[in-house]
Structures are given as C-alpha cells and as structure tokens.
Structure 1
Amino acid sequence: MKNHGLKETIERAKQGNEPAVPPKNNVIGFYRFVVDNDPIPFNQKEYEKHKNDKKKILNWVVPEMGPGSGGHTTIFRFISNLERLGFHSRVYLYMSPNFQDNASIRKFLKEYFPLLVPEVEVYCDVSQMKFAHATVATSWTTAYYVRKFQNTISKFYFVQDFEPHFYAHGSEYEFAENTYKMGFRGITAGDWLRDIMRNEYGMQADSFHFSYDDKVYQPKEKQDNEKRVFFYARPVTPRRDFELGMLALNELCRRMPEIEVVFAGWDVSGYEIPFKHRNLGIVTPQVLADSYAICDMCLVISNTNLSLVPFEVMACNSVAVCSKGANSSWMVNEENSILVDYDPIQIADRMEYYFNHPDELATIRKKGMDFVKGTSWYKEAEKVYASMLKGIEEDEKKLQ
C-alpha cells in the first residue's frame, strides 16, 4: 500500500478517500510532519501591501479541539482580547481529522467557544494561510508547520505547558522538546515556563499570569457544616496525579470518615472508592463552580504547569490545596493556598490539620479571594500585546 505525505493525505481526505491523518501504525506517514521542512516562502508583495498597517495581523496555528478544551479556551480568550487591543487574528487548524470545511469549524467554535469574538477569521486548514505580521504556534505539533512557514515577519510560540512531559522519555518527548529550539519568541503561561524557555533553550520569552472567568466563578457562602473535599480527578491525565490523590484522600477519610469527597474531571465509577463520595464526572464550568463552593478544600495536584483550577477555587470562596514546586509557586503560595508535597501521608496530615483549625483555614480563604480579585485576563493580554508588538518591530528591522 502506498504511503502518502501529510498534504496529499489531507487532500485525499477532503475527497472522502481516507482519514486526514494517517493511522499511528503508519509511523512514517503519521510523523511525516516532523521532517517536512519544505519552506513556504516569504511573499514580498504581500509584505509591501501590509508593512504600514496600524492593525497588525496574527496567524494562529492550532490543533483540533473538543468542546470546552481548557487550552483552547485560554488561546481564544487571548485572541479575543488582543483583537480588542488592536491586533487582527486569523485561526487555522492543523492536521484536523474532523473539520474539512470552514463553515463547520466556524459553527463549532460559535457553539462551544462563544468567547471568541466574531471579528476573528477562522479556517479549517493551514493550506489557506496567508501573510501575517506574526505567526503563532500553540502546541508542539503546530510548531513544525510554523517552522517552515516563512511568509511572516515574526514567529511566536504560545507555550501553556512543558509538553515533553506529556510523554514517556522517547520519540514524542524528543519531537516536542525539539520545538523549543526552533528560534521562535515565547509567550508562556507563567514564569516557570518562561524561565525554562530562557535558561534551557535560549528562547526569547515573556510570560503572562492567570485569572478567572468572573461571570462563572463567584463567591458563595457554604450553606451547611458538612466537611467536604473536592478532588480534580483526571485518571486519564498522568500529570494530574490521580493515584497520589486517591491515596491521600483515603488516608484522610480513614482518620475523618465523616468527610465527603466530590470527584469531578472524569467519570471515576469504574474505580473502587471505599470512602463517602460523589462522582460528578465531566461537568460544565457552572457545575464546577457550584462544587467548589460547597467544599472546604479543593485538592489540585499537578506535575507540570499550574492549571486554572486553583484560581477558580479561590474565586468561589474555597481553599486550593496545591502541590509545591516551581511549576506552581509562580502564582500560589502559603498565603493564598495550602501547599503540599507529592506525598499522600503529608497531604492527609495538612488537610486534617486545617479541618481541625478552621480559623486558620478561613484566613487562607480570605487571602485567596483577595488575591484573585486583583487579577485580570485583560491586563495579561495587554502584556502579551506589548511583547508581540515589540517582537514584530524588532524582527521587521532585520528585513530592511
């Protein structure tokens, strides 16, 4: 059977002949994009047409998404705020198996990502990508396409996590890590990633910090005296430490059997859970907000970059229990959260202590609320706008 390249495969898929992405057992076909570096050339005429534009154009190359994807929500939130600040953005899907025309992806985004402002252009495939003042990779796979796309002044990398850690230390780890050496300018989610990009890969990188959606995550007073712990449970995502959390909660509930644990993030009905609990599964943001508000503490463990969950927890008048480390300390600390080691006994010890010292827990709760009230997605977008504009201006001087 003939093996087709990625571009050829996508064209065949549009004709209904085969999937847009080769099956993974076709190793050479599936990973061909890693070695495909045929340049898409700089278009001097397009540059001359747009070089004096006051409104700079950004191309965003994104992987396909499912409904409510957290990473895409953050990307689209920044794209929308940058549009309000004076950039104009175009979004292009890369290697999308399910969206083969522009109308279908635009309809999908309108339904599931309504925060994306309508002024943003959306396209189902990078083959439609035109000149832009800057082109932005948003994941390690998309970085390979941006590497060869030369029809732009600047190249940026919107880095939300250290993606090599999503894999065992093998080929995909190396494929992901190599993208940090491609010479892009970094826009990172937090200072931990910024420092890694600068210090380990020599990338010019600036960072943004997190905030929360204040239309969904709002403070509520707990209406009863039941002791509850929320656990962000993602057994399908190893970096979220499901097994570690389960051992810690089991130990806590062994000591304090009156505690009820509220699970959300994934359906855990297939697991043996000997303590009192609720299994909410995958839920809407509003259900999450309501769940945080009925819990005294919310356990959020991560072995990679901090997620948005601690900020949402604080905004709902609960207390985040977060794993210690440079990957989280750039925004959470002993003042606004409870920090724990990656040790189930120590986690149980800390949570038991605060259940027995409610006044101290209330102090952390108030400081957490005060902290998140001082954050703003729009202010963070202003930082990103300034960083990108500076990068474009510096890179344009190299063309002259």
Structure 2
Amino acid sequence: MQDVSGLVWLLTVAGIVGLLLFDFFFHVRKAHIPTIGEAARWTGIYVSIALLFGLGVTIFGGGQMGAEYFAGYITEEALSVDNLFVFLLLLTSFKVPRADQQKVLLFGIVVSLIARTGFIALGAALINSFAWIFYLFGLILLMTAGNLLKGHGTDDDEPPNNFVIRLARRFLHTSETYDGDKLFTYENGRRVLTPMLLVMVAIGGTDILFALDSIPAIFGLTQNTYLVFTATAFSLMGLRQLYFLIDGLLDRLVYLSYGLAAILALIGVKLILHAMHENNVPFINDGETIHATEIPTLLSLILIVGILLLTVVVSLLSPKGRAQMYVAAARRHANEFLDIETDPNYCDEIFHRLLNEEAHIKTLPEKYRARIRAESELMALLRRAHEVHDERVAAGRCYARA
C-alpha cells in the first residue's frame, strides 16, 4: 500500500469525482431544504463509504496502514465539524436563504478538496526533501492548539472577516438581493452579480485557510500520500449533509475547541518526536539523530477517539452547553425570520422553532436565564421577531401559532 499504483489512484480519484457529480445533479442542482431524515441518511452513507474504504486499507495494507487511515480520517472529520461553526456564521452573516445553502457548501467542499490536494502534494514533496519540515509542522500544530485555547470564550457570534472576504467584498460588487441560487441576475436591465458569488468566494477562501492547519495534522499521523489524500477527501465528502444534520447541535459542543486543541497538541508532539528521530538539522544535536520515544499510530488513534468522546459527552451534559445552544438557535431563528427567509410557509416554520427555543430557555437554571435576560441586544431581537410575526398574522401573511 506504500507504493500505490497509478490505476488505483485513477480509480480513487474517479470515484470521488463521481460522488461529487452525483451530489450536484441529484441533491444540489434543485434548491431545497434537506429534511433531517435526508441529511441523516446521506451522512450515514458517506460515513459508511469512508469506513468501508478504511476496512479495505486494513485488509490489503495491514493493520498499521489501517490505523494510520482511521486516525487521519477521524482527525480530519473532527476538524471539519469545527469548520462548520464558521460556515454557519458565514451563511448567516451573508443572509443566504436556507434552500440555497447546499450549493454554497458543495462549492466550498470542491474548492477545499482542490486546495488540500495541492497542499498535500507540496507537503509530500517537502517531507521527501527536507527532514526538518517535521519540526515546522509540529510547531504549526502546537501554535494552532494554543490559538484554539486562547480563542475559546471570545465572541463566537462574530462572523469571519479574513483577507479573502475583505478582498472579495472590495472587488465583487453585487446586487442587494439574491435571485434563488443564481450567480447572475438582471437589475434595471443590466446583468449584475448576486451575493451568491460573494458568499461562495468567502466560503472557498476560508476553506483554503483551514487547510493550512489540517494538512500538517494528518501528515503527523501518516506520511503515505495516498492515505493523506483519501482520509482528507472522505472527511469532506459528507460535510454538506452533516451540516444540515447537526446544525442545531453545533452550538452545544462548547468544549470542542478544548478537545481539538488537545488532539493537535498530541499530533504536534508526535511530529517533533519523529523529527528528532530523523534529525539532520546541523544546529540541533550537530545534525545527529536524537533517540526519542515516538508515539505509535495505534496509540494516537486510541487517544484521538478518547479525547473526542470525552469532549462530546462533557459538552452534551453541560448546562452551559444547553444554555449556549438554546440562545444561539433562538438568535439564528429570529434573524432568519426577520431578515433572510422570504417563503411565508418556511417563515412560519422558523417562528415555530423560535418559540420552541424560547420554551427551552425557560427550563434553564435561573442563573443562566438571568444572564440571557441581561443580553439587551438579544432580548430586543426576540421582541422584534414577535412584533413582526403579530403584524404578519394580522395581515394574513402567516399563521398564528399557539
């Protein structure tokens, strides 16, 4: 499995491209809002494909190769879930209607896959030429882990505003409103760009920045380029369906950043220990090998799974997680109801979800409810949503809800 034939590469790439085309023509081409059942079904299918592929790697390549693939896939999948938080903020800040979000996400996945393939090729070339690159990758991951811990607890509702987004806003002058999921529309007889193109550039550019962290992470678990590529690709393939499946649970994972920081730190240490074993840097131990105990891949896999399970369980059991989830969902539904969605039937459904979240908030311990009541901006947003709903009911534009 170390030396994968050109035919296997060709078949693998063809299979991944085929899955992407299937996704576009059968799921995304016609704009719609996926049901929970649809999202769960297709998430299960894509995860099953990834697991079956890993089983094939284990059978034909051996247990070591299988452990490397699964460690890489699970790590990349966990990082992808963290990326979904940013996608959620971007889609909300750009006010993308729910039915049109699928196409944006699929575009982001394709851009991310292309960018990461380029980074994988570059990383493999650097690793084959320079042993010191392991030190660099290890330091990048340790710095990323530190940034995750440092950033935890800051204002998570602030949408990303990296240089790609600022550049796109400056040079892509778009219309004020969407025209379905079209990239171009006509305004006053002139053909103009829609905000859909702008949000696609923002998602794609943000995806490329994510790759700068995720590629060093997976190279810390395996240096087999084929396994790096396939684990990365399969972690991205079901991301669109996963977004709609766990949308409401994203805000509940309050300790995910801690878990990811621990995983990235673990892989960073693993990379530096490997670099010491392969050391040829003149100013480190006179370029001689440093005999250090390396972390076995199987142990890395066990630790990664354990850290993720602990993170998820603690997050789900945390009252703070419940409070954060209810508040974030209520804020999002209120914004959707007021500023984003135009379909009267779906607006009515959104308002019903808002009422459910408000009912959940009332079940929280008093200390959390007091904090929520103290958020004047949130309370004003919720009041405005109720006022607008009452106006629409009076005008006969939506149904009254008990």
TM-score bucket of the superposed structures, by smaller chain: under 0.3
* Structure (1/2) with the larger helix percentage: 2
With CA pairs under 8 Å and 6+ residues apart, which has the higher RCO, 1 or 2? Answer: 2
Q: Normalising by structure 2, report the TM-score.
A: 0.24
* Structure (1/2) with the larger strand percentage: 1
Q: Normalising by structure 1, report the TM-score.
A: 0.24
